[in-house]
Each structure stands twice: as C-alpha cells, then as structure tokens.
C-alpha cells in the first residue's frame, strides 16, 4: 500500500543526532502532509520578491536570498535522491555534500528569480511524488550517506525540517514577510 496517507515521525537511531534539530521543527505527525503544506506558504513568502531584494544579504559574507533558495533546493534534491536509492534497496554508501562549494558553483545571484523559485517548486513536487509512491515497507529501509545511517522516512522529515529552518531564517534575518 503506498504511503500517501502518512509518513510517521522517525525514531531515534533512524538518523544521526545532527538532523534531530530539523526533524524537531516539523509540526504534526506526518512528513508527507508537512511537505505538501509547506510549499504554498514558502512560495507565497517569495512571491513579493523582486530581483534587487532577492540579492539581499543580511551581513557581509552571508548568502543572498537567492543563495538560500537554491541551497534549500539543492539539499532537497540530494536528500530525495538518497531516499529514492535507499527505498529501492540500494545499499551503496553515498557521499556527503558540502553546501558551501555547491552555493558558490550555483551562482544563484546570476539566475533569474522566477527560475530560482520554479526550481524550488519543481523539486518539491518531485519529492512529494516520490514519497507518495513508496510502499509503507520502504519508509523504514535504511542506507548510509556521508558515513551515517538514515532511513527513508527520516529523509522526508529532514527535507521538511531543513526547509522550515531556512524559511525561518528568511523571515527573521532577511526580513521577508514583513
């Protein structure tokens, strides 16, 4: 039976403690519902941006708003790819990724804002489609990424919590939504 109705909160041992901070940010008891709820709110938050505001950095050396959006998109791609591999019972250990060189290489500030936002919308739609298509048994399958064990369902929760973390920063440090 596909898990379209619920992706329950992961238990300790399904992720390393570092990711607990993201998982704890997600309200409710269903990651799939959280993923579906989040994206309209995030897109609404970003809808009032113009190119100039999207280049804002709250301090020297910090990412621009565009950098943050592309980082959230890139991280979701990586986490969803890991989830797909592990759900398909692929036990190949996967490497980590360093967000700093990713952000630099993405050159987000040179990408038109509508393209940046569409990337986020598209990857979320793809993530929802992936997690919605999984059998319940696939949710507790685990693999190793960045030398750390993680389950498929933990990755869904990490995606939701990671976005929530960065949306909170966009509101609090970048002043979006005010």
DSSP string for residues in 37-85: HHHHHHHHHHHT--HHHHT--SSTTSPPHHHHHHHHHHHHHHHHHHHHH
The whole model's pTM is what? Answer: 0.96
Three-state secondary-structure class, residue 150:
strand
| pLDDT given at position 178 | 76
Work out the angle at residue 36's Cα, subtended by the Cα atoms of residues 95 and 118, and round it to the nearest 5 degrees. 70
Provide the pLDDT confidence category of residue 54 given band limits of 50, 70 and 90. Answer: very high
Provide the pLDDT confidence category of residue 149 given band limits of 50, 70 and 90. Answer: very high
Mean pLDDT calculated for residue range 67-90 = 98
Q: What would the pLDDT profile of 151-161 be if each residue is shown by its tens digit?
A: 999 999 999 99
Q: Which two tokens stand for residue 137?
A: 């048994």
Query: What domains lie within the chain, and their CATH numbers?
Result: 30-172 (1.20.120.450)
Provide the pLDDT confidence category of residue 1 given band limits of 50, 70 and 90. Answer: very low
Provide the pLDDT confidence category of residue 175 given band limits of 50, 70 and 90. Answer: very high
pLDDT reading at 134 higher than 70: yes
Q: What is the mean pLDDT of the chain?
A: 96
What percentage of the chain exceeds 90 in pLDDT?
Answer: 96
């Amino acid at each position: 039976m596909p898990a379209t109705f619920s992706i329950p909160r992961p238990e300790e041992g399904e992720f390393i403690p570092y990711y607990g901070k993201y998982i704890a940010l997600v309200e409710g008891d269903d990651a799939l519902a959280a993923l579906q709820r989040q994206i309209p709110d995030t897109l609404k938050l970003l809808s009032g941006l113009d190119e100039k505001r999207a280049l804002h950095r709250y301090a020297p050396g910090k990412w621009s708003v565009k950098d943050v959006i592309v980082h959230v998109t890139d991280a979701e791609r990586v986490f969803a790819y890991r989830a797909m591999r592990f759900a398909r019972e692929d036990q190949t250990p996967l490497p980590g990724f360093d967000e700093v060189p990713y952000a630099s290489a993405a050159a987000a500030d040179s990408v038109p804002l509508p393209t940046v936002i569409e990337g986020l919308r598209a990857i979320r739609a793809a993530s929802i489609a992936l997690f919605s298509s999984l059998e319940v048994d696939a949710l507790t399958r685990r693999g190793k990424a960045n030398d750390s064990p993680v389950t498929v369902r933990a990755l869904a929760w990490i995606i939701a919590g990671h976005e929530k973390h960065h949306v909170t920063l966009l509101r609090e440090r970048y002043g979006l939504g005010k």
